[in-house]
Amino acid sequence: MFTIILITILVVVIGFLWYDIGSDYVYMTERSHGMKLIKQRINDSWQALADEHNLIFLGGGFFKKVTLHGSYRQYYLNLELKKRTEHKQKLFSTYLTISSTQANSQKNTHQPSSQTKPVVIKDIVRFFNKPSLKFSLKAPLQIAENQQIITYNYNGVNSEKRYLQFLFDLMVDLLNLYPEIIEQEGDIVAGLLTMLNDDTHGLQLIAANLLENIANRTAPRLKDKTTPLICPMCLAHCIPHKIIKTVSKATVKVAIKDVSMLKVTHYGCRLCYQSKNFVEGQLVVVLDHTMQAERLEENNQLRINWFKHKNPFDFDVVEIKQASDEDVERFVVQIKNDTDPGRKEHYKTTTYIIALDCQLNHNTHRILERTFINN
């Protein structure tokens, strides 16, 4: 009886072992077949790119180093398939760097003719606009602090030729445009903030880096200005814009080390963010029917004729010279109905002046006192 039980147990154990071995064999066979297909696709597409752009492709075995490198559009390109281990599984990453550091040492027969064109803001915005990108980025792009190297690190295998070609050109275009974009300063900040706040945008890290560089340019120049600065286009003050955002360096399974905090202050127009063209002095709204011009610059003041402008703006002083009670009341009603939160807060510190020869009734004086500060 004991012998029969022992034989039964041995048969069951051998059956389980045979099933496991068979399953592992099938799994390894299927996995090996899948890797061969991936390797073939890499060989075909990477070799095609090498032939088309005079690059060097080193294939080797699937578990050996696979690279594509050389000079591309006057930059040095290095594409690698890197092996990594995660949960005891051998996985692969596609790592691409494009830099100017080694380009001079590489012979390049693929140098398309280029003409210097002036950078237009709308072209930059269109370039960064996500719908305008030919492909959705599978991993974020990141640029080094020296602005000479741009990297792409995807947790997977990129073997599609058209997508890789798109990546090559996008990254080179970014390196070319980068200094020009920073030079635009505040003019491009609104577009960069849109990118920064889109956590699905593949250029989010680029936007964060650009905003940091722009803030580092505007702060030293504008931070300590003692005289108010006025944007002549928006009739708004130059103010500090605090930009705080947590950005991720990975697209999946974000770890603490893959997250960074952007915390910078950009100085620019309150409304349009521009940081180069300002008028220094007070911004005065003038209620005077005898004033002919819509605006005048004099005595460190930018004076705006309300009867011609007729829209709220960031004025510091209200000057009433030749106006009726009805004119003043309509002006105050429009100001009180202003929905701009920045201006509504600013009105609390705005002063007003009434010319001696401007006769206003007691009720109009009370309206002004409740709205502004009597100087």
pLDDT at 204: 86
- Using an 8 Å Cβ cutoff, are 137 and 163 in contact? no
Contacts of 284 (CB under 8 A, 6+ apart): 301, 302, 303, 304, 315, 316, 317, 318, 319
Nearest one of 163, 82, 95, 139 to 253, comparing CA atoms:
139
For residue 41, what pLDDT is reported? 78
- Show Cβ contacts of residue 71 under 8 Å, excluding neighbours closer than 6 positions: 54, 55, 77, 103, 106, 107, 108, 110
Instruction: Check residue 106 and give its pLDDT.
Output: 43
Report residue 24 as tokens: 């592992």
DSSP state of 270: T
Amino acid type, 218: T
Quick one: CA dihedral 333, 337, 338, 344, positive or negative? positive
CA of 53: how far to CAs of 56, 70, 73, in Å?
9, 9, 9
User: By the 8 A CB rule, do 188 and 124 touch?
Assistant: yes
Residue 232: what residue type? P
Question: Average pLDDT for consecutive 10-residue bins of the chain (375 residues)?
Answer: 58 47 38 60 86 87 75 94 66 89 46 47 65 79 84 89 93 89 91 88 87 93 91 96 81 47 93 95 96 93 95 96 96 95 93 93 94 86
Q: Which residues contact 12 (CB under 8 A, 6 or more apart)?
A: none
pLDDT at 114: 42
| Token code pair at residue 6 | 């022992």
- CB-CB contact of 128 with 195 (8 Å): yes
Tell how strand 259-269 and strand 236-248 pair up.
Answer: antiparallel
Beta-ladder partners of 269: 238
The confidence score (pLDDT) of residue 52 equals 94
